[in-house]
Amino acid sequence: MKREITPPSKKFLIVYRVVVVLIIALVLVLVAGSLYAVIRPPDSGPLFRIGGSGNRGPDKRGGGSGNWGAGALNPDERTAVFSGIGRLRIPVAGSTTVILSVSFPYPVNDRPFAEELASRVGEFRSIATGYFSTLPEEKIVRLDEEAAKTEILKSYNSLLRLGKIEILYFTDLMVIE
């Protein structure tokens, strides 16, 4: 018994060849990148950054910009701003609400401390919420911001084990009656 085999169409062959060429090119790029990664010195910086540098890195002049502190020339002195606590909406006595965002600088090179900060976000929120929710409405309206920062900073530092927060910023502080 004879079977007839129909050859594939020319369009199918063109698509097949294009797909094979793309797969071969992808494999070559992956092999070349892997070889370059093996040959490259381990202390070299990134080749490029996706998204541009914007205001996330230190200023080339050393003046500091974005999240870096003023001592951006020495990598051991760089600081970042921790703002992971987010914006808090705290209902207080009566119909008053406090809207608050807390941030503070911390050393970039202290990775264990940064991880501790990230793991304590819920507790940081609870401390700030507890502080403002216990104040009477009269004190909220005439709020002493420095006293509030000092009290919350003291509570935050009593919670931390791997480092201390030096200064606290209220990036947003609104009292809505």
pLDDT tens-digit readout, 3-56: 887 777 888 889 999 999 999 999 999 999 899 888 888 777 777 777 655 444
CATH class given for the domain over 75-176: alpha beta
| 100 in Cβ contact with 87 (< 8 Å) | yes
Kindly state the average pLDDT of the residues 108-121: 90
Whole-model pTM: value is 0.56
Domain boundaries of the chain, sorted by first residue: 9-42, 75-176
Task: Indicate left, alpha or beta for 62 from its phi (over 0: left) and psi (-120 to 50: alpha).
Answer: left
Identify the pLDDT of residue 48: 72
Identify the pLDDT of residue 38: 87
Identify the pLDDT of residue 125: 93
DSSP class of 4: -
Kindly state the average pLDDT of the residues 95-118: 89
Distance CA 1, CA 40 (A): 62
Residue 68 has pLDDT above 70, yes or no: no
Identify the pLDDT of residue 93: 75
Total residue length of the chain: 177
Distance CA 12, CA 125 (A): 61
pLDDT tens-digit readout, 135-149: 887 888 788 889 889
Identify the pLDDT of residue 44: 79
- Angle, CA of 52, 169 and 144, to the nearest 5°: 155
Dihedral, CA of residue 59, residue 86, residue 117 and residue 124, to nearest 10: 140
